[in-house]
Chain A
Amino acid sequence: MSQPEDFQSLQKLLQLKRLETPGQEYFERFVDAFHRYQRQEILREEPWYAKIVDVLFEPWVAGIPRLATVGGAMACLMAGMALMFGPIGASSIQLTDGKVTHARGVMVASGQNQDSARIQPELIDTAAGGEVTEIRPLYVNGRGAVAYDSQLAF
Chain B
Amino acid sequence: MSADATKELDLEHGPTDEELVAETLKGNLGSYDELIRRFQARLYGVIYHLTSNHDDTNDMLMEVFDKAYRSLPTFRGQSSFYTWIYRIAINRTFNFLDKRKRRQGAMSLNEINEEGLPKFDFPDPIQRNNPSKSSMLNELQNKLNESMLQLSKEHRTVVTLFDIQGLAHAEIAKIMGCTEGTVRSRLHYAHKQLQKSLGIYLRR
Residues of chain A touching chain B, judged by Cβ–Cβ distance below 8 Å, are 1, 6-7, 9-11, 13-23, 27, 30-31, 33-34, 37-38, 41, 57-60
Q: Taking chain A's interface residues, is the majority helix, strand, or loop, or is none over half, making it mixed?
A: helix
Query: Which residues from 32 to 60 on chain B have a C-beta closer than 8 Å to any C-beta of chain A?
Result: 33, 36-37, 40-41, 44-45, 48-49, 54
Q: Which residue of A lies closest to B194 (CB)?
A: A10
Q: Are B122 and A19 within 8 A (Cβ)?
A: yes
Please give, as numbers and ranges, the residues of chain B lying within 8 Å of A17 by CB-CB distance: 49, 141, 144, 148, 164
Task: Determine how close the nearest CB of chain A comes to the CB of B12; give it in whole angstroms.
Answer: 23
Q: CB within 8 A of B66: which of A9, A14, A22, A37?
A: A37
Considering only CB atoms, which chain B residue lies closest to A35 in the complex? B33
Q: Using A1-B203, A23-B121 as known contacts, say yes or no to A11 and B36 having CB atoms under 8 A apart.
A: no
Q: A21–B41 contact, CB under 8 A?
A: yes
**Chain B residues with Cβ under 8 A from A30's Cβ?**
36, 40, 61
Interface of B is mostly: helix
Q: Is residue B159 within 8 Å, beta carbon to beta carbon, of the partner chain?
A: yes
Known: A10-B198, A13-B201, A34-B65. A18 touches B45 (CB 8 A): yes
Among A14, A41, A58, A59, chain B packs the most CB atoms within 10 A around the CB of A14
Roughly how many angstroms separate A7 CA and B163 CA in the complex, as a whole number? 11
Q: Which residue of A lies closest to B99 (CB)?
A: A57
Contacts of B95 in A (CB 8 A): 58-60
Q: How far is the CA of A18 from the CA of B45 in the complex (A)?
A: 8
Complex-state Cα separation, A11 to B202, whole angstroms: 10
Interface contact B144-A16, CB-CB below 8 Å? yes
A19 and B159 contact, Cβ closer than 8 Å, known pairs A13-B144, A14-B144, A27-B40: no
